[in-house]
A and B are shown apart, each in its own frame.
Chain A
Amino acid sequence: QQQVKQSPQSLIVQKGGISIINCAYENTAFDYFPWYQQFPGKGPALLIAIRPDVSEKKEGRFTISFNKSAKQFSLHIMDSQPGDSATYFCAAGTSGSRLTFGEGTQLTVNP
C-alpha cells in the first residue's frame, strides 16, 4: 500500500529532447505528489509537486501529468539540458507527514 513504483531506472536523452519519467502508486489516501532532483553528494531538492485535484502542473520546462483513476503520474522535462543530468525521485504522501519515494531515475542529457 505504501509503495511507489518508478520507471525507467535510467534514461539517456539528447540535448533539446524530452525526458519522461513515470510513477505509479497504490495508496489512494496519498494527496501530495512531489518530484525531487538529486545531484551526486547532495540531498534531494524539491522540483515540482502536484495535488490530485488537478491533472497537470507546469513550471518552466517541467510538467507533472497526473492520472488519478490510473494512480499514475509522470514528469516531463522539455528541452532537456546537460545541467538537468541528475537522479530524479517521485514521491507520494499526505501533507505534513511521511513521503514514500520511488527508486529513482538516473537521467543523462548528452550535449
Chain B
Amino acid sequence: GAGVSQTPSNKVTEKGKYVELRCDPISGHTALYWYRQSLGQGPEFLIYFQGTGAADDSGLPNDRFFAVRPEGSVSTLKIQRTERGDSAVYLCASSLSSGSTGELFFGEGSRLTVL
C-alpha cells in the first residue's frame, strides 16, 4: 500500500499479557516513529528509529516497552506485562531520511485496550 500500515487495528487483552503491535512504513522511508495517543490528548513520543537502530528511545515509559526494526523497514512495538494504563492508540509514523522537511506520515493506529 501507499501509506503506513499498522496491525492489528484493535487489540483487547487482559492485564499482565504480552502484546505486539506491527508497523509497515512507507517504502523508502528510513525514519520510523512510535507515538502513543490517549483519549483527548496529543500524540506522545515513544521511540524513533533511523534505519535499524533506535536513534532516540527516551519516550519509552519503562522497561516493559520495547521496539525493534531488524531490517530497517517493518517495526514491532512490544509491551510486556500489560497494565490498564497502557490502554491507548499506538501510532506509527514514517518519514524520509533525517535531512528531509520533517513531515511525518502516520498510520491509522492500533487501539490497545487492557482489561
Contact = CB atoms under 8 A, between A and B. Distances in A.
Does B associate with A? yes
Interface size, B (range) = 20 to 34
B37 to A, nearest CB: 9
A41 B108 contact: yes
Interface in A57-101: 89, 91, 93-101
Contact of A96 (B31, B43, B44): B31
Contacts of A102: 42
B84 to A, nearest CB: 22
Given A43-B4, A43-B108, A43-B109, A101 B43 contact: yes
A98 B103 contact: no
A11 B55 CA distance: 37
Mostly helix, strand, loop or mixed at chain B's interface?
A: loop
A103 B103 contact: no
Interface in B27-60: 31, 33, 35, 40-45, 48, 50, 55-56, 59
Contacts of B25: none
A90 to B, nearest CB: 9
B69 to A, nearest CB: 16
Interface of B: 4, 31, 33, 35, 40-45, 48, 50, 55-56, 59, 91, 93, 95, 97-109
23 contacts: A6-B42, A32-B102, A34-B102, A43-B109, A44-B91, A46-B104, A46-B105, A49-B101, A49-B103, A91-B42, A94-B102, A95-B100, A95-B102, A96-B31, A96-B95, A96-B98, A96-B99, A97-B56, A98-B45, A99-B102, A99-B104, A101-B43, A102-B42
